[in-house]
């Protein structure tokens, strides 16, 4: 009925008419506005901060500074919400100016005088790990942290995840060839078109009202409690539509500033809205990486061992970067069966903007390292890189690096994805052709997998309420960030209730006081977790409908069915009650009534997940592994080093495609993001680690017309305990794209290209044998 159809997203017409509202679209007379004063240095001591002139400026109500505030951070509390004593990255907030208008706040922000004493800045993970490198956090040993975080005091290591599987020495001993590959890329950014925004207001009764452009409205409640001791019941978070997130709106940052600012002005409503520049560097960014991968294999290409070192550039504060570095470790080998694995994944402090999840959560980063290494191995062995991947593809019966045994349900079909990719790309026909003296066409591929490394007790709830016309409202804590998940939930509910999806209404915005919690809208887990909750809620509603109808129809509930707007007798559908007549209880002709409004509720909690063993990494981090195989076809000019991405392919195991056009959109959008990241994005730093391109003028994502032709197909291997078998698909399109592009260009140019972004100058320089770094 509704599942499997390209249902138009519920909020579509709001979005094409300008009626769709985002956090910063809600304005109120009397609302105050904040401007952030940020650090021009990446590492410096704050000698003094003088706000008198700013305070005296027209319209200014307060200048909030960092003294006396608690440290914050989800895994480890290492970050002052506003810097005190020291700044650790370019763009770090040192003060928040609150004024009547944004213009006044910005004017006054320029009057805050901060005197800094610059300190030597640490520019990359490898630099940060060198003996004698400046320490970002002298008191790493004193920070409050959760049990699964393992910092190394006296160093810049915020966390280390160890994966030890099999016997690495033996694996290498059994190998005919060992290939070592190093890759690197600098931090970059999400560039959601809506910059982050939060407002806060504290009412006289003590309730705290936050509005936030966030993937984690429920986490905001918890963190205001954890950091500031506010009662969670008194924190009410409102999240309307979110204008793109991609992981970047999972962390909680501006919300804290808005809360502090409101507190400083007697609880008045204050809006903190990022400029694009602040959104790019002050708020958390896409993580950078330096990695070394050593693969041992037999001469026919069978992997025997992988030794992997991931040095993630977590930036100045660990926050969610710890989790990202852990997620990469969990799936460190890529979607291949490797018996002997040794991986250290470090989250390293540097004087760079701090990192947070980016769509694929450590996996496009990890895949870039592994998939480049596999291509280099294939080249070394003179084997077809597709064959090498196919030979080692993971499948049920194998174990993951964290030693989870895979089943037909908990992993997608990797071989099938690779097989289909090979056909779609006409892989066997050619992989590199010289079109003319300068023009080379080349193909590159990569594969990816991903499980979601999320809290082991993450849960999701759904409430269904009925309207008197028999239609249904779906209320879920999933934030509509653009993925269309809420429309998919409506499809799931319509399917279960056997009703027209047009009769299923969706509450788009979140109000944490009335919306059941969905842990966070991250990790491609919305459809799975909220979908399960929606099914449970539908079943609950069905039970209630049947109970009322059973009374009226004088039949056992067991003999009733719900569907097509009715409750009817299974063996004689002509005997029925319209749902609209019982959705608010049933009124007998004599005026007596039974029942009441039908309110279905359901929830889902992830099951049997365990934290990783700190010594071996053994543990079950997530419910299932989705897989994908991807490819890129490029046209490269050997004379001037420019290239064009001609085609991009993805074959993704979707489990079950619930909404074909929406699924394609998710896959293609993710691919586009991966190609944009790989071909042109990344922060450029000067020697003092100041970001030189924090603007869309100089940090230029892919634009219309630069896009290749996208070819996407889905394989359907159901995850049996997911709604209708659907697997997460919001991220997989991205995972192997950077690697596939690098593999194609390396083949075309004839040199290994192991850095991102793959701009022509990088290729030119690599071919010349120069190093290419920041200017």
Partner 1 sequence: MVPFDFAYYRPQSITEATALFAALERDGKRPLYYGGGTEIITLSRLNLVRTAAVIDIKAIPECRALDVGHDSLVLGAALSLAELEEANPFPLLTKAAREVADRTARNQITLGGNICGQIFYRETALPLFVAEADAIIAGPYGIRQCRFLDLFHQQLQLGRGEFVVQFKVDRAAATLPHFHRKRRKQGEVGYPLVTIVALKKDGTVRVALSGVCPFPFRSAEVEAHVNDRSRPVGERIQAAVDAFPRPILHDIEGSADYRLFVAAQLLEDMLGELGDRETV
Partner 2 sequence: MEETTKRELVLSINGERRSIVARQSETLLFVLRDGLGLTGAKPGCLNGDCGACTVLVDGTPIKSCMMLAIETVDKDITTIEGLDDAPIQHAFVRHFAFQCGYCTPGFIMNAHALIERRPNADEATIQEWLESNICRCTSYQEIEAAVKEVLEAKKAKPTDP
- Residues binding partner 2 (CB under 8 A): 6, 8-9, 11-22, 24-25, 27, 58, 103, 190-195, 241-246, 275-276, 481-484, 661-662, 664-666, 668-669, 671-673, 695-697, 701-707, 709-710
| Residue 693 interacts with which of partner 2, partner 1, none, CB < 5 to 8 Å by class | partner 1
Q: Which is nearer to partner 2, 15 or 299 (CB)?
A: 15
Instruction: Examine residue 423 and tell whether it contacts partner 1 (CB under 8 A).
Output: no
Interface with partner 1 in residues 698-737 (CB under 8 A): 698, 700, 702-703, 705-706
Q: Would you count residue 639 as binding partner 1 (CB under 8 A)? A: yes
- Residue 668 C-beta: closest distance to partner 2, Å: 4
Q: Which of 38, 403, 491, 679 is the binder for partner 1 (CB under 8 A)?
A: 679
Cα(613)–Cα(306) distance, rounded to whole angstroms?
A: 19
Give the one entry of partner 1, partner 2, none that residue 20 binds, where binding means its C-beta sits below a cut-off of 5 to 8 angstroms depending on kind.
Answer: partner 2
Per CB under 8 A, the segment of 376-384, 462-470, 478-486, 756-764 that binds partner 1 is 756-764
Q: Which is nearer to partner 2, 78 or 480 (CB)?
A: 480
Residue 684 Cβ, how far from partner 1 at the closest point, in Å?
A: 5
Altogether, the residues listed in the chain come to a count of 775
Contact of residue 662 among partner 2, partner 1, none (CB under 5-8 Å per partner type): partner 2
640 binds, among partner 1, partner 2, none (CB under 5 to 8 A by kind): partner 1
Which of 318, 288, 319, 293 has its CA nearest to residue 306?
A: 293
The yes or no reply on residue 56 touching partner 1 (CB under 8 A) is no
Nearer to partner 2, 345 or 666 (CB): 666
Asked whether 89 and 351 are in contact (CB, 8 A), the reply is yes
Exposure class string for 79-89: b at 16+ Cβ within 10 A, else e: bbbbbbebbbb
Query: Of 693, 710, 752, 769, which one interacts with partner 1 (CB under 8 A)?
Result: 693
Instruction: Please state at what angle helix 321-330 crosses helix 363-381, rounded to 10 degrees.
Output: 40
687 binds partner 1 (CB under 8 A): no
Q: How far is the CB of 393 from partner 2 (least distance, A)?
A: 26
CA-based nearest residue to 336, from 376, 370, 292, 385? 370
What single-letter DSSP state applies at residue 54?
H
580 in contact with partner 1 (CB under 8 A): no
d(CA 505, CA 526): 18
Q: What is the dihedral of CA 100, 102, 107, 112, to 10 degrees?
A: 80
Nearer to partner 1, 563 or 757 (CB): 757
Binding-site partner at residue 692 among partner 1, partner 2, none, CB < 5 to 8 Å by type: partner 1
Cβ–Cβ under 8 Å, residues 121 and 111: no
Closest CA to 557 of 537, 542, 536: 542
What is d(CA 760, CA 211) in angstroms, rounded to the nearest whole number? 43
Nearest to 289 by CA among 372, 187, 379: 187
Residue of the chain from 131, 697, 769, 771 that contacts partner 1 (CB under 8 A): 697
Position among 552, 647, 764, 767 found at the interface with partner 1 (CB under 8 A): 764
Tokens read off for 634: 């490029």
Shortest distance in whole angstroms from residue 28 CB to partner 1: 19
Which does residue 107 bind out of partner 2, partner 1, none, counting CB within 5 to 8 angstroms by kind?
partner 1
Query: Closest approach of Cβ 733 to partner 2, in Å?
Result: 9
Is residue 26 involved in binding partner 1 (CB under 8 A)? Answer: no
Report how far apart, in Å, the C-alpha atoms of 282 and of each of 70, 84, 203, 248, 257 are.
19, 15, 29, 12, 12
3-class DSSP state of 685: strand
Instruction: Tell me how crowded residue 707 is: count the other CB atoms within 10 A of its CB.
Output: 15
| DSSP code string of 258-312 | HHHHHHHTTT--EEEE--HHHHHHTS-EEPEEEEEEEEEE-TT--EEEEEEEEEE
Residue 3: which of 491, 485, 530, 484 has the closest Cα?
A: 491
Q: Is 405 in the site for partner 1 (CB under 8 A)?
A: no
- Nearer residue to partner 2 within complex by CB, 58 or 70: 58
Reading the block at residue 501, the tokens are: 């999806």
Q: How far is Cα 17 from Cα 518, in angstroms, rounded to an integer? A: 29
**In terms of CB distance, is 43 or 680 closer to partner 1?**
680
Minimum CB distance to partner 2 smaller for 374 or for 670? 670
- 528-541 in b/e form (b: 16+ CB < 10 A) is bbbbbbbbbbbebb
Question: Is residue 692 part of the contact set for partner 1 (CB under 8 A)?
Answer: yes
CA distances from 327 to 160, 298, 402, 453, 750 (A): 12, 28, 11, 6, 32
Number of Cβ atoms within 10 Å of the Cβ of 176 = 13
Residue 764 binds which one of partner 1, partner 2, none, with CB within 5 to 8 A depending on kind? Answer: partner 1
Give the nearest distance from C-beta 407 to partner 1 in angstroms: 44
Q: Which does 139 bind (CB under 5 to 8 A by kind): partner 2, partner 1, none?
A: none
Shortest distance, position 102 Cβ to partner 2, whole Å: 8
Token output for 584:
């608010």
By DSSP bridging, strand 432-434 and strand 504-506 are unpaired
- 107 interacts with partner 1 by CB under 8 A: yes
206 binds, among partner 1, partner 2, none (CB under 5 to 8 A by kind): none
Closest distance between partner 1 and the C-beta of residue 675, in Å? 11
> Least separation, in Å, of the C-beta of 509 and partner 2?
13
Nearer to partner 2, 10 or 546 (CB): 10
d(CA 145, CA 317): 13
Question: CA torsion 707→711→717→722, rounded to 10°?
Answer: 40
Residues that contact partner 1, how many (by CB under 8 A): 28
Min CB(19)–partner 2 separation in Å = 7
Contacts to partner 1 by CB under 8 A:
102-104, 106-107, 110, 639-640, 642, 679-680, 684, 692-693, 697-698, 700, 702-703, 705-706, 757, 759-761, 764-765, 775
């Amino acid at each position: 009925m509704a599942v499997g159809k390209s249902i138009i997203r519920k909020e579509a017409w709001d979005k094409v008419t300008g009626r769709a509202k985002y956090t910063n679209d809600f304005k109120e007379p009397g609302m105050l506005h904040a401007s952030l004063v940020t650090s021009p240095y990446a590492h410096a001591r704050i000698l003094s901060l003088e706000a008198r002139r700013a305070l005296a400026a027209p319209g200014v109500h307060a200048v909030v500074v960092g003294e006396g505030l608690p440290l914050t951070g989800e895994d480890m509390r290492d970050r002052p919400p506003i810097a005190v004593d020291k700044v650790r990255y370019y763009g770090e907030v040192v003060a928040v100016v609150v004024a009547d208008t944004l213009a006044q706040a910005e004017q006054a922000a320029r009057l805050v005088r901060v005197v800094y004493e610059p300190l030597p800045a640490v520019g990359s993970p490898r630099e940060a790990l060198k003996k004698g490198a400046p320490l970002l956090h002298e008191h790493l040993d004193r920070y409050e942290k959760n049990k699964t975080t393992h910092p190394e005091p006296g160093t810049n290591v915020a966390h280390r995840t160890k994966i030890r599987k099999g016997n690495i020495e033996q694996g290498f001993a059994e190998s005919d060839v060992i290939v070592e590959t190093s890759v690197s890329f600098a931090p970059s950014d999400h560039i959601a078109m809506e910059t982050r925004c939060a407002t806060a207001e504290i009412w006289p009764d003590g309730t705290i009202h936050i509005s936030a452009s966030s993937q984690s409205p429920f986490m905001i409640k918890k963190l205001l409690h954890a950091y500031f001791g506010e009662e969670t019941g008194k924190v009410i978070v409102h999240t309307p539509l979110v204008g793109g997130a991609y992981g970047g709106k999972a962390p909680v940052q501006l919300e804290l500033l808005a809360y502090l600012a409101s507190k400083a002005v007697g609880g008045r409503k204050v809006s903190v809205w990022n400029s694009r520049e602040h959104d790019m560097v002050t708020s958390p960014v896409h993580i950078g990486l330096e990695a070394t991968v050593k693969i041992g294999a037999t001469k026919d290409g069978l992997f025997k061992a992988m030794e992997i070192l991931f040095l993630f550039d977590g930036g100045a504060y660990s926050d969610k970067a710890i989790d990202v570095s852990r997620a990469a470790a969990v799936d460190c080998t890529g979607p291949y069966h490797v018996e002997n694995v040794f991986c250290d994944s470090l989250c390293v402090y540097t004087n760079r903007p701090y990192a947070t999840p980016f769509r694929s959560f450590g996996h496009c980063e990890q895949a870039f390292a592994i998939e480049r290494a596999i291509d280099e191995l294939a080249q070394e062995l003179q084997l077809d890189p597709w064959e090498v991947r196919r030979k080692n593809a993971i499948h049920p019966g194998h174990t993951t690096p964290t030693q989870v045994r895979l089943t037909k349900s908990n992993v997608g079909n990797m071989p099938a994805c690779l097989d289909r990719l090979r056909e779609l790309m006409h892989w066997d026909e050619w992989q590199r052709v010289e079109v003319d003296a300068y023009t080379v066409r080349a193909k590159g591929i990569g594969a990816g997998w991903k499980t979601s490394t999320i809290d082991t007790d993450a849960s999701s709830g759904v409430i269904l309420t009925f309207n008197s016309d028999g239609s249904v409202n779906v209320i879920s804590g999933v934030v509509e960030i653009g993925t269309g998940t809420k429309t998919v939930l409506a499809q799931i509910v319509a399917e279960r209730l056997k009703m027209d999806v047009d009769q299923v209404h969706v509450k788009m915005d979140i109000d944490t006081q009335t919306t059941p919690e969905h842990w966070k809208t991250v990790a491609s887990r919305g459809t799975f977790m909220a979908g399960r909750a929606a099914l449970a809620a539908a079943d609950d509603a069905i039970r209630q409908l049947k109970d009322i109808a059973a009374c009226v129809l004088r039949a056992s509930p067991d003999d009733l069915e719900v569907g097509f707007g009715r409750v009817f007798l299974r063996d004689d559908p002509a005997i029925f009650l319209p749902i609209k007549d019982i959705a608010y209880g049933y009124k007998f002709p004599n005026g007596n009534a039974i029942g009441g409004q039908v309110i279905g509720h359901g929830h889902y909690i992830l099951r049997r997940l365990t934290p990783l063993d700190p010594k071996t990494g053994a543990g079950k981090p997530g419910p299932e592994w989705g897989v994908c195989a991807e490819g890129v076809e490029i046209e490269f000019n050997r004379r001037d080093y420019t290239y064009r991405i001609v085609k991009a392919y993805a074959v993704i195991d979707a489990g079950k495609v619930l909404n074909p056009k929406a699924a394609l959109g998710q896959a293609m959008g993710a691919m586009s993001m991966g190609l944009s990241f790989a071909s042109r994005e990344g922060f450029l730093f000067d020697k003092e680690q100041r970001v030189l391109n924090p603007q869309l003028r100089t940090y230029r994502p892919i634009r219309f017309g630069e896009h290749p032709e996208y070819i996407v197909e889905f394989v359907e291997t159901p995850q049996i305990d997911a709604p209708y078998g659907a697997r997460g698909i919001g991220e997989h399109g991205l995972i192997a794209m950077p690697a596939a592009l690098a593999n194609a260009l390396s083949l075309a140019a004839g040199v290994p290209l192991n850095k991102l972004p793959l701009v022509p100058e990088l290729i030119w320089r690599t071919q010349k044998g120069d190093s290419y770094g920041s200017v």
